[in-house]
A = this chain, B = another copy of it.
Amino acid sequence: MCPAGSSRWCPTPEQVMILEEMYRSGVKTPNATQIQQITSHLSFYGKIEGKNVFYWFQNHKARERQKLRRKLTKQLQLQQQQLFHHYFDSLPSPPFQHLSYYNSPPPFPQQVGVHDAAAAAKQGMNYTWKLDVSERMDVDKSMMKIYGGDLLMMVDLSSPSLSSPCFFTTTTTGPPPLKTLELFPVTASNLKEECNKNNNG
């Protein structure tokens, strides 16, 4: 685990687990008493002192905040980029078209395809699901809320204003012209990178 004469604390997995559990259950900035108690408790699992606990909570809190902040920032940037592209890539107007580009690494066979958008649209428009979701939230934002990030999506091409990009819009009377844009090749490694960017940077 930790070099014998290490100059700094190396928490054991048990210690980390307990600290995280405490943090999760509400201990964010323990006071002296709490720190002493926690320290005593954790000293069961390995060498530890008060300052370690103190600093752990400080750092953990800060890094959680940081993580969230970065995630939000990234999302915003991507969203804006997306809207930018949407705005300037004027497009042909089949009522529905869903373009998918796949460029998969060895384990995933390559595939470049153009699909009818009906299927794609249906994916997000499953009626039951939609209904269930809409019980709690605004229908228009459902996919955003559920799926988190929204690099790109379906925009109503009939309105040039781009004022209200909608995710998996549900229309019972008749669907407006929608287009799903995917701006980069899809590979596992790409997905991984993006995921890491979201998580770490």
Contacts and interface: CB of A to CB of B under 8 A. Distances in A.
B41 A111 contact: yes
Interface stretch (A89-97, A117-125, A156-164): A117-125
Stoichiometry (number of copies): 2
Contacts of A29: 147-148, 195, 198
B186 A37 contact: yes
Interface in A64-120: 69, 72, 75-76, 79-80, 83, 98, 100, 102, 104, 107-108, 111, 113, 115, 119-120
Contacts of A147: 29-35, 50, 54
A32 B192 contact: no
Nearest to A129: B51
A25 B13 CA distance: 23
A170 interface: no
Interface string A6-46: 00000001100110011001111111111111111101110
Interface of A: 13-14, 17-18, 21-22, 25-41, 43-45, 49-51, 54, 69, 72, 75-76, 79-80, 83, 98, 100, 102, 104, 107-108, 111, 113, 115, 119-120, 122-124, 126, 129, 143-144, 146-154, 167-168, 180, 182, 186, 188-189, 191-196, 198-199
